[in-house]
A = this chain, B = another copy of it.
Amino acid sequence: MHPVLVGGEWRPADAAGEFTAHDPTTGKPLDERYPVSSWSDCEAALTAASDAAEKLDGCSPDAIAAFLESYADRLEGAGEELAEIASRETGLPVRPRLLEVELPRTTGQLRQAAAATRSGEWRQPVHDEPLGLHTGFGPLGPVMVFGPNNFPFAFNAISGGDFAAAIAAGNPVIAKAHPDHPGVSRRMAELAAAAVTDAGLPPATVQMLYGMGPEDGLRMVGDRRLATISFTGSRASGMRLKAAAESAGVLAYLEMSSVNPVFFLPGALAEKGPDLAQELAGSCLLGSGQFCTCPNLCVLVAGAECDAWLSDVARTMSDREPTVLLSSGTLSTLETTVKGLVDAGAAIVTGGAKADRPGYYFQNTLLQVSGADFLESPVALQSEAFGPTTLAVVAADAAEAVAVAREIEGSLTACVYSAADGADDDLCQQLMGVLRRKAGRLLNDKMPTGVAVSPAMNHGGPFPATGHPGFTAVGLPVSMRRFAKLDCYDAVRPHRLPGWLQNE
């Protein structure tokens, strides 16, 4: 059984149990065995993280940046190996997805985080010389990161955006590896630990556990030696962690679920319906629909145009072969959620069931419901069906489309497609006014599935999409602000101010 990374050392876990990953294409377990830690491992990691936080406070931005860059280099050096392990555990293709798209994104994030650490812009210093006040952001304290199953590199707890942002802001990380891809997490943690040593950072700057029992997990996130948790995953798990953390005063950044509504207005369908059908189907099926920004809900206004167009979308979806899902849990949750949507009044246009083959496959699925029925059960009909699935809401008229928009829960994104000739402009303006308040990122004429790593990105949004709509999980240096504490120095003798606050 593999050891855990605690306090800078790979040491045998105090294991309460064990688990293996599975090959999603066959459903068969893989060979490697990973420990479920008991509390003593959690305790040791918390103590070491607490100690590392204080020591990291004395490390230079250059040392932190050097770690991030060295780690990025090592990930690239081991790219083929990492992609092969990840592919075996997740079913995601080595090329182009893992090696050519996700790995460069991951190393790019780490290098952008290094640059942000060096520049210090994230600290947002503010000086009031006459009053002797000097203020800006500093590290927050130990961060426990729970990565999701859908990005084994770019959102991995040990290598992804949260990891990079937390470290760049000077905080130690305890990574909780996702149980669907422990092998790639293990290999990355080895590279991270080596990079920590080379950069001369405190050994416990990076720690990793593979898992712990549910009770120990909740106890750990509610331990005040943690400053914050950062979680990406299901709403049910997120809400349990949120309650445990927040009741103890530990901050909880959560990215939980999002239906990412896309409104196709009548003029847009008239102008380029066939193209839009391809765009929607493509976005829904990208990565087997397992993106946080997958358009799970689309809204149309009834009309002849609309029926034909939905048939086109359905045909495009059913013509494509189902692709593999990440895990048995993803498959069973998807089955349950689709059944729930049908129970709530949606009709299946195409797909709707497990595909008839071994492994974790679900048919590409389009569901449909009237605007009136949606308005009867807006909560049930917004259950996120995580997979190659979308629900089309057909509103009777423009007013009903606006009423549907008003019922949208907090979402990462919302989009309106409208005619180029201005025919939809009035309705578009109304919808955007409503949707701005519902979503973190508002789009026009573009699918939401691309999430660029840009300082101007917002990968966030109102609850329940995330836990706080003032923060973003993607984009540097802004995503570091989640892991920052406001530090004010009042009449502090000038030579005692931290370097970044000493005025030129």
Contacts and interface: CB of A to CB of B under 8 A. Distances in A.
Interface of A: 53-54, 57-58, 126-128, 131, 133-135, 137-138, 140-141, 224, 227, 242-243, 246-247, 249-251, 410, 413, 428-429, 432-434, 436-437, 440-446, 448, 452, 454-458, 460, 462-464, 467-472, 478, 481-482, 484-493, 496
B249 A463 contact: yes
Q: What number of copies of this chain does the assembly contain?
A: 2
Given A131-B452, A249-B464, A467-B249, A458 B496 contact: no
Contacts of A463: 224, 249-250
B443 A490 contact: yes
A138 B438 CA distance: 12
Contacts of A440: 485-488
Contacts of A485: 437, 440, 462, 469-470
Given A135-B456, A458-B486, A488-B458, A437 B246 contact: no
Contacts of A484: 470
A471 B486 CA distance: 7
B242 A444 contact: no
A105 B287 CA distance: 56
B128 A455 contact: yes
A452 B133 contact: yes
A469 B140 contact: yes
Contacts of A454: 128, 131, 133
B488 A456 contact: yes
A25 B452 CA distance: 63
Nearest to A136: B456
Given A54-B433, A463-B249, A456 B141 contact: no
Contact of A138 (B436, B467, B472): B436
Given A246-B246, A470-B484, A456 B493 contact: no
A133 B472 CA distance: 14
6 contacts: A134-B456, A243-B246, A440-B485, A457-B488, A469-B486, A478-B486
